[in-house]
């Protein structure tokens, strides 16, 4: 009894592109968002309102948000680590903001320059301001199975973070395997720890494919009932604060697997592959999706 339907959030424009060394023009990012929504994605993580000194690639956040021709049925989300980011984001009218914390202390320090508890103190007013403005709030939980600095992360620490996020009113959370070290049972344990605080409908899986485990981890998450996932068109990505971490699982590969299993996604694989080719061409490389390569080489 796997879920019959899956919702995919494409994080390519944000998680995928944030680590690119060469500046990607805002117009290319906007075109990518347009192609993703044309392919049937109805949740897209567009950009982040973080310090441009930390993540220069996302400095054009407001320009990208302003350039999108919005579809009424699409949810556009942006990352906001603090009130300064939220206030800038608010002007661009996102449907959802994402605060991002970590199950690992060391990663919290490297990524957002504060401890886990301090991060919750920073998020609390952001969550309140967003909820007051009628904007949905998601919480990304990084390093839920492993951390580049601390190694393996126990499920209890994921549960602890999920509980803190719940206590400040974050509506739903992502269980992220930031560096892609997870394997099915470990991912299930991280999800189960999260489910002590959040309902199944409010938990999503966010798997990076560094060790080639992201699809099996997706299946493992489906087996415990999770039906929301983040993925990245053309497998774009990597994290600036997680050395060696590769991209998110490719949306094309997830869609192919789900279609083959008879699970509905609402996504047109051909159009999605085209979107992946578009952005890969813009970056001067091949799509990092085996499904895309197989289809294109047929
Ligand atoms: P900080 O230095 O501690 O912040 O950084 P601060 O409040 O002390 O401010 C220092 C300077 O930053 C000031 O500028 C602020 O104005 C500016 P200055 O006076 O020096 O010129 N500043 C900002 N500028 C623009 N927007 C803002 C903002 N805040 C402060 N929002 C901060 C703290 C969080 C800002 C910083 O650490 C940061 O920007 N980090 C970036 C983290 C990031 O984007 N990481 C990648 C995304 S997370 C991820 O990819 C994981 C995920 O995919 C899930 C997974 O896979 O695990 C979500
Ligand atoms: Mg990520």
Give the distance (Å) from ligand 1 centre to CA of residue 111.
Answer: 8
Site to probe by mutation for ligand 1, drawn from 50, 90, 111, 157 as the one with most ligand atoms within 8 Å of Cβ, is 50
At residue 240, the pLDDT reads: 62
In the prediction, which pLDDT does 213 show?
Answer: 97
Counting from 1 in the atom list of ligand 1, the atom nearest the Cα of 18 is 46
Say if ligand 1 is within 6 A of residue 86 CB.
no
Whether ligand 1 lies within 6 angstroms of the CB of 159 is answered as no
- Tokens representing 89? 């984001």
Flag whether pLDDT at 239 surpasses 70: no
pLDDT band at 246 (very low <50, low <70, confident <90, very high): confident
Q: Is 207 in the pocket of ligand 1 (CB under 6 A)?
A: no
Rounded distance from Cα 210 to ligand 2 centre (Å)? 11
For residue 53, what are its two tokens?
A: 């000194």
Ligand 1 centroid, distance to 54 Cα (angstroms): 6
User: pLDDT per residue over 268-282, tens digit each?
Assistant: 999 999 999 999 999
Q: What is the reported pTM?
A: 0.97
Distance from the CA of 9 to the center of ligand 2, in angstroms? 12
Local structure of 104: helix, strand or coil: coil
What was the pLDDT predicted at 245? 72
Mean predicted lDDT score pLDDT of the chain: 96
Q: What is the mean pLDDT of residues 58-83?
A: 98
Residue 47, pLDDT > 90, answer yes
* Bridge-based pairing state of the strands 136-142 and 203-207: unpaired
**Main-chain phi, psi angles of 96, to 5 degrees:** -150, 140
| Catalytic annotation present for 143 | no
Give the model confidence (pLDDT) of 124-158 as tens digits.
Answer: 999 999 999 999 999 999 999 999 999 999 999 99
Q: Which residues contact 274 (CB under 8 A, 6 or more apart)?
A: 35, 39
C-beta of 85 in contact with ligand 1 (< 6 A): yes
Cα separation, 231 vs 234, whole angstroms: 9
Q: Which atom of ligand 1 is nearest to the CA of 114?
A: 3
- Give this complex's ipTM: 0.98
State whether residue 255 is helix, strand or coil.
helix
Q: Count Cα atoms within 13 angstroms, Cβ side, for 61.
A: 28
Q: What's the mean pLDDT in 231-237?
A: 96
- Kindly indicate the confidence band of residue 164, based on its pLDDT and cuts at 50, 70 and 90: very high
Any idea what the Cα angle at residue 227 is, between residues 17 and 291, rounded to 5°? 50
């Amino acid at each position: 009894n796997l879920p019959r339907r899956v919702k995919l959030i494409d994080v390519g424009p944000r998680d995928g592109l944030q680590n690119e060394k060469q500046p990607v023009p805002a117009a290319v990012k906007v075109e990518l968002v347009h192609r993703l929504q044309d392919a049937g994605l109805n949740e897209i993580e567009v950009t982040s309102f973080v310090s441009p000194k930390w993540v220069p690639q996302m400095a054009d956040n407001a320009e990208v948000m302003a350039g999108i021709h919005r579809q009424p049925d699409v949810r556009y989300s942006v990352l906001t680590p603090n009130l300064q980011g939220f206030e800038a984001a608010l002007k661009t009218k996102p449907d959802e903001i994402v605060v991002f914390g970590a199950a690992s202390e060391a990663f919290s320090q490297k990524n957002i320059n504060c401890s886990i508890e301090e991060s919750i103190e920073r998020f609390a007013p952001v969550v309140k301001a967003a909820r007051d403005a009628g904007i949905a709030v998601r919480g990304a939980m990084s390093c839920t199975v492993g951390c580049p600095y601390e190694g393996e992360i126990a499920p209890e620490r994921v549960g602890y973070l999920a509980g803190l996020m719940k206590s400040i009113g974050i509506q739903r959370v992502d269980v992220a395997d930031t560096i892609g070290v997870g394997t099915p049972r470990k991912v299930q344990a991280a999800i189960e720890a999260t489910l002590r605080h959040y309902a199944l409908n409010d938990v999503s899986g966010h798997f990076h494919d560094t060790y080639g485990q992201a699809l099996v981890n997706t299946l493992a998450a489906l087996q415990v009932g999770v039906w929301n996932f983040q993925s990245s068109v053309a497998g774009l990505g990597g994290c600036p604060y997680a050395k060696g971490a590769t991209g998110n699982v490719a949306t094309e590969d997830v869609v192919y697997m789900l279609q083959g299993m008879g699970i509905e996604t609402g996504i047109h694989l051909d159009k999605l592959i085209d979107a992946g080719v578009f952005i890969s061409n813009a970056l001067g490389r091949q799509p990092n999706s085996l499904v895309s390569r197989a289809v294109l080489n047929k």
